[in-house]
Structure 1
Amino acid sequence: MQYKEQRELKTLLLVDDDADDQELFKLALAELNHPVKCLTAGNGQEALENLCTHAYRPDLIFLDLNMPLMNGIVFLERIKDIDHLKDIPVIIYSTSDEPREISAARSMGAVDYITKPARFDELCRLLQLVLVQGTTSLH
């Protein structure tokens, strides 16, 4: 599925409670040498509060599913009900590869689902596909 807009991506939001995963994500983005700003939130509640107060508006959201306070599914459900947020593309970025969770996330409006790669080079490759081609699909 393609979700790249006409304009280049400028701001990404990573919603993930794991500080190590946040750091690896930012390092992978830096490796790509692609002009992008990466904001982070430690859970869905923090991200939703920042988005609703118009603290920022990302071009794309990477969303973990398993987080405290507000998990990814609840966050996704909530932003899809808010007019000024519902059109922001959301990519699920999770350790889970359960088909049921993948299907549920897509049916709720996620544009893609990435299982967190075990290797740094694979994360770089996936982010390159998203930023340059607007998809994680090789087809």
Structure 2
Amino acid sequence: MFVLIVDDDNEDRELFEEAIGVVDSSIKCFSLKDGREAIHHLTNELVVLPDYIFLDINMPVMNGRECLIEIKRNSRLRHIPVIMYSTTSDTNEIRQFYNLGAHDFLIKPNNFKKLIEALNSIIMLKKSKVK
């Protein structure tokens, strides 16, 4: 399995990658710092596409909302489940992301253990569907 994390916060990206390694050390994780960088990377025909994209909302250059819209417009990318990954808990905003095509919404946990638990439930669900 291969996941992409798109987040402008270096510390959040590093924490996420570490948590993925705890959940399953065989999962490959790649990270990018903003939506524009993600779209540029993902639209390169030579790139192996991820099984999941974890996408922060509040980023400079291209935010998560704009990036999600671009992903869902692209026929090569639209099948990839996008999990919005943010501190917001505003139900109206979360609903808007689902309406735009987000697969799930993960509120950034306030500690490492909770992040591992949240990622574990998402990853295990994916693995159970593959079997």
**TM-score w.r.t. length of structure 1:** 0.87
1:44 aligned residue: 35
**Root-mean-square deviation over aligned CA pairs:** 1.3
Q: Is there any run of 5+ residues in structure 1 with no aligned partner, and where?
A: 1-9
Match of 2:91 in 1: 99
1:62 matched to 2:45? The reply is no
Alignment identity in percent? 39
Ranges of 4+ aligned residues in structure 1 off by more than 2 Å: none
Question: How many pairs were matched up?
Answer: 126
> Partner residue of 2:26?
35
Q: TM-score, normalised by structure 2?
A: 0.92
**Partner in structure 2 of residue 5 of structure 1:** none
What is the DSSP-based 3-state SS (H/G/I as helix, E as strand, rest coil) of the residue aligned with 2:5? strand
Conservation of the 8 A alpha-carbon contact between 1:93 and 1:114: yes
Q: Which amino acid aligns with 2:66?
A: V
User: Is the counterpart of residue 131 in structure 1 residue 123 in structure 2?
Assistant: yes
Matches for 1:14-29 after TM superposition, within 5 Å: 14-29=5-20
Deviation of 1:29 (Å) = 1.2
* Structure 1 residues 61-100: aligned runs within 5 Å: 61-100=53-92
1:104 match: secondary structure: helix
Aligned equivalents of 1:134 and 1:122: distance in 2? 19
Match of 1:13 in 2: 4
